[in-house]
Amino acid sequence: MGGARGMALRAYHSAVMRGAWTTTMTTSNAGVMTAVRWANDALSSRAYATHTRVGVGSGFHGVRSFIRGDGGAEHGGVRASTAARAPTREGARDDGARGGVQFPLSRLQRPYVTKTTMNEKNTVKSSSASSAYSAAAYDDNSDSATANLQAKLAKKDTYMLFHPQYDLRQVENVKPAHRTPIHVRDYLAYGAVQLARWGFDKITGYTPNKQLTTDAWLLRFIFLETVAGVPGMVGAMLRHMMSLRTLKRDHGWIHTLLEEAENERMHLLTFLKLREPGLTFRLAVLGAQGVFFNAFFMAYIVSPRTCHRFVGYLEEEAVRTYTHALHDIDSDGPASEWARTPAPMLAIKYWRMPEDATVRDVVVAVRADEASHSHVNHTLSSMGIRQTNPFHVGHTELPENFVEPPAGFVPEHCR
């Protein structure tokens, strides 16, 4: 075994003397050392006795082939076992799919390139942000390598979770809808929403027939969004903990609920670009969040389905509120200025709106989001807690009657 390692080291020194530094540019030293480590692993006693029958000559051939850049890790004789096979550059990302050995995390976090990609810059093909790491140029002393990596990762130019992107001409036609209560939990959820709305309207002096100023609308929007961002986070957190506690999968609910929570928070941050509330308002938000968070937390532990129905009805009311706001904007009232006011840049980037988008366009997009949340939560409420979430990542379809489940999907409790 010691002789094989010595031969591998001699091959390394021979490669350097033959000009491997020039051939493999700045990556040769790391590449050859990696080949030596692979050869040592392949010739270790465990791999040799259990999985492979690798000879000294084949090990040397693997090092020599890697230096030449012709895939020595695959052609150097280390073929007999996936446990002893060296990780290929193409299979470094997916250990389970290819059966290879995964690169250490520290190596995946750095830009890495092979001689082929240095000579043929247009051959790099990346299907995800993680694969961009393995395809970018590796040069610790080069600013261009970092720039290339950032350019590849810029294709996913946001850290936000997935959220729908709308054709404003289509979502312009979103109209309020209502799901008729059927079961006892439905009546409880609907009654709680109506009671909360009645109390809030009384305190704020709001009526559906009253025209509000832009400041009054913003205060209402901001307060409601601080409440609307709570249920998704609470539901995702509790389902996450249940998955850990029961050692079972979640069936895809957590991600959708986190998307909802972040989407509501982005509504809040967008409206804060138009108005900054005062101290009294902030104290009211603090109190409301403390009460609602704990109440929803306890209720979700007792009956998740009732809580999702509650959110479905709550979002129905949000659609009505934003429809009223749009009516005010389109009339000659004080809110009509929003039809001409430019949208905040945050909103333009988040919803990928045209550069000339207005605040009215933002309200249209927010209303569509609220309709989508009602659609999702009414569906989740009708599902069993172990039923797979039909709203996969990238799902953007919003049916006209958004209070009904997606077309072709039958929730467990609707069968």
Determine phi and psi for 358, rounding to 5 degrees: -115, 175
The pair of three-digit structure tokens given for residue 179, joined into one six-digit string: 């799901």
Mapped onto helix, strand or coil, the DSSP state of residue 342 is strand
Query: What pLDDT score was predicted for residue 41?
Result: 54
Question: Would you give the DSSP letter of residue 358?
Answer: B
328, 318, 319: which is closest to 213 by C-alpha?
Answer: 328
Name the residue with tokens 């791999």: 47
CA–CA–CA angle 299, 303, 306 (5° rounding):
90
- Tell me how far apart the alpha carbons of residues 114 and 376 are, in angstroms, rounded to a whole number: 46
- Tell me how far apart the alpha carbons of residues 41 and 48 are, in angstroms, rounded to a whole number: 9
Determine phi and psi for 106, rounding to 5 degrees: -60, -30
Question: Would you give the DSSP letter of residue 52?
Answer: -
179, 163, 113: which is closest to 404 by C-alpha?
Answer: 179
- Tell me how far apart the alpha carbons of residues 192 and 303 are, in angstroms, rounded to a whole number: 14
362, 326, 328, 330: which is closest to 344 by C-alpha?
Answer: 362
- Residues forming a β-bridge with 358: 342
Query: What pLDDT score was predicted for residue 76?
Result: 41
Q: At what angle do helices 214-228 and 279-302 cross, to 10 degrees?
A: 30
Sign of CA dihedral 235, 240, 245, 249: positive
The pair of three-digit structure tokens given for residue 54, joined into one six-digit string: 């690798």
- Residues forming a β-bridge with 342: 358
Counting runs of H as helices and runs of E as strands, what totals does the chain give? 20, 0
Q: Decide: 153 and 129 in contact? Cβ < 8 Å.
A: yes
Element (H, E) at 267: helix 253-272
The pair of three-digit structure tokens given for residue 375, joined into one six-digit string: 């659609």
The pTM for the full model equals 0.63
Q: Which burial class, exposed, middle or buried, applies to 3 when counting CB atoms under 10 A from its CB (0-12, 13-18, 19+)?
A: exposed
Name the residue with tokens 């009384």: 202
Query: What pLDDT score was predicted for residue 401?
Result: 84
Mapped onto helix, strand or coil, the DSSP state of residue 309 is helix
Query: What pLDDT score was predicted for residue 400?
Result: 81
Q: Which burial class, exposed, middle or buried, applies to 362 when counting CB atoms under 10 A from its CB (0-12, 13-18, 19+)?
A: buried
Q: What is the dihedral of CA 358, 360, 363, 367, to 10 degrees?
A: -120
Q: What is the Cβ-side half-sphere exposure of residue 301, based on CA atoms within 13 angstroms?
A: 6
Instruction: Give me the tens of pLDDT residue by residue for the chain, a chain 415 residues long.
Output: 556 556 655 655 555 455 444 444 444 444 545 544 554 554 444 444 444 444 444 444 444 444 444 444 444 443 333 333 344 433 433 333 333 333 333 323 333 333 333 334 444 344 444 444 444 434 444 556 555 545 544 445 666 776 777 778 888 989 999 999 999 999 999 999 999 999 999 998 898 888 999 999 999 999 999 999 999 999 999 999 999 999 998 988 999 999 999 999 999 999 999 999 999 999 999 999 999 999 999 999 999 999 999 999 999 999 999 999 999 999 988 999 999 999 999 999 999 999 999 999 999 999 999 999 999 999 999 998 778 888 876 656 777 888 888 887 888 766 5
